[in-house]
Amino acid sequence: MVTATPLTPLEEQLLELAGSVPDPELPVLTLRELGVVRAVRAHGTDRVEVDLTPTYTGCPAVEVMSLDIERVLREHGVREVTVRTVLAPAWSTDDITDEGRRKLREFGIAPPRTGAASGPVRVELGPTRTGEGGAADGTREPVRCPHCGSAETELLSRFSSTACKALRRCLACREPFDHFKEL
Amino acid sequence: MTTTPAADTVTTAAALALGDDALVLSHRLGEWAGHAPVLEEEVALANIALDLLGQARVLLSMAGDEDELAFLREERAFRNLQLVEQPNGDFAHTIARQLYFSVYQHLLYDRLAAGDGPFAPLAGKAVKEAAYHRDHAEQWTLRLGDGTDESHARMQRAVDALWRFTGEMFQPVEGIDGIDWPGLESAWREAVEDVLGRATLTVPDGPRSGAWKAGAGRQGLHTEPFGRMLAEMQHLHRSHPGATW
């Protein structure tokens, strides 16, 4: 979701640079793959504004991301860098690129399923497991184990090491794993 | 966008109301750190607290300097609902408080996100977080209510004890426009009664406001436990003004 006005070649280059910064919590992903760098505006060659959107409102990584973007752009000769946090339109896990999803899986984190807008799946007591048939309500593809690929996995906790992840366990290989929750 | 000073003042008051709800509940949930019944739940409550803290930072920044507002205001200047300042109690009390508040916040933010007022951007973001908080609270209400005799009794005691703080949520907040408050209240009642029913719990039938009357927290009138909570939340900042890491 880059600005409506076409980017100048300089802005494209700066967007590339800002997007190449690794995510501080999931360093296998770049900010571009995470989909959080929204826009870059250059005023002359000296002053640049970057729009960054948080994954979660309280995401503590936003400040580190801002500092990293500033540092990288300064290293490339931009004298004044302003990183603005923008909330709307709200970030969604659908903004994670296909490449980003592949890297998450390789890193041992089940990527979010697409079509995230619907939020948490309402489940009744008991069926926290997903099988080949999909989620308990039958509308979603199952969460697959990032280690062995099995679709037979169960939810252990709705919140894991960070707010954006849930903790699940694979029923085939028995490994616990993080699942990047749909948002 | 052009706004008159009066409109700004009204937006500030509304930002304080919503921001204080998020800040105070965030602090209460943070008190569980090191005390939760199981590790997964400790992490879950801390994550919910973090979401709320993020929302509070955005909202309080709309009203002024976030640190000054959080750490240097007196009790009477806080505009949060009395519900969110209630002590954690046992785990069932915390879950009942989460159920009542997260259903309210989810329904309210869903409506705010659909509008074009000053809170729409934040609400559009926060409604997705609130959906997970609500799901968490509903699942625990079901487990505790429809669990053992002991968990059922405790969950019933908790939903009964906090019931009298729920009327205040539907008092119109000045500066929040376009909300049908009676409609919000009936949607909330329907959702909460549905969960309580499925959890084999009885819907409380007592009054939904306390001795202070509904609207008290929004007017700066708070319950006794709030003062002690604020003392703990604010003492570091007040004892060491300007301290940095």
Structure tokens at A176: 């616990």
Tell me the average pLDDT of chain A. 85
Domain at B7-239, CATH homologous superfamily: Ferritin, core subunit, four-helix bundle (1.20.1260.10)
Checking if the pLDDT of B96 tops 70, the result is: yes
A29-33, A119-123, B81-85, B90-94: least confident range? A119-123
Domain boundary among A85, A109, A126: A85
Q: How confident is the model at residue B6 (pLDDT cuts 50, 70, 90)?
A: low
Q: Is residue A55 in a domain?
A: yes
Asked whether residue A107 falls in the same domain as residue A81, the answer is no
A3 belongs to a structural domain: no
Task: State chain A's maximal CA–CA distance in angstroms.
Answer: 59
Phi-psi domain of B242 (left: phi exceeds 0; alpha: psi -120 through 50; beta: other)? left
| Residue A126 confidence (pLDDT) above 90 | no
- Whether residues B53 and A119 touch (CB distance < 8 A) is answered with no
Tokens of B99: 């159920």
pLDDT in tens, A155-168: 988 888 888 899 99
Binding-face residues of B in 104-133 toward A, CB within 8 A = 120-122, 124-126, 128-129, 131-132
Beta pairing class for A176-180 and A109-110:
parallel
A80 and A107 inside one domain: no
pLDDT at position B37, please? 86
Mind listing the pLDDT tens digit for each residue in A64-82? 999 999 999 999 999 999 9
Question: Between chains, do A57 and B139 touch, taking CB under 8 Å as contact?
Answer: no
Total tally of structural domains belonging to chain A: 2
Question: Residue A170 has what DSSP assignment?
Answer: E
Q: Any idea which residue has 């997964």 for tokens? A: B40
B152 CB within 8 Å of a chain A CB? no
Structure tokens at B194: 């549905």
Identify whether residues A78 and A17 lie together within a single domain.
yes
Local structure of A20: helix, strand or coil: coil
What would the mean pLDDT of B63-81 be, rounded to a whole number?
96
Q: Which of A25, A59, A159 to mutate to test the interface with B (most CBs of B within 10 A)?
A: A159
Mean pLDDT, residues A24-47: 92
Are residues A68 and A101 located together in one domain of the fold?
Answer: no
Q: Is the peptide bond before A89 cis (omega within 30 degrees of 0)?
A: yes
Size of interface A-B (CB pairs under 8 A): 82
Structural domain boundaries enclosing A104: 95-180
Min Cα separation B10/chain A (Å): 22
- Whether residues A106 and A72 share a domain: the answer is no
Boundaries of every domain in chain B? 7-239
Pairing of strands A165-170, A176-180: antiparallel
- Check CB contact of A9 with chain B, cutoff 8 Å: no
The pLDDT score that the predictor gives to residue B3 is 46
pLDDT computed for residue A29 by the predictor:
94
Same domain, A17 and A72: yes
Model confidence at A139: pLDDT above 80? no
Q: Which of B57, B128, B132 sits opposite A158 (nearest CB)?
A: B132
Half-sphere exposure of B171 (CA within 13 A, CB side): 21
DSSP labels for B11-45?
A: HHHHHHHHHHHHHHHHHHHHTTTTT-SSHHHHHHH
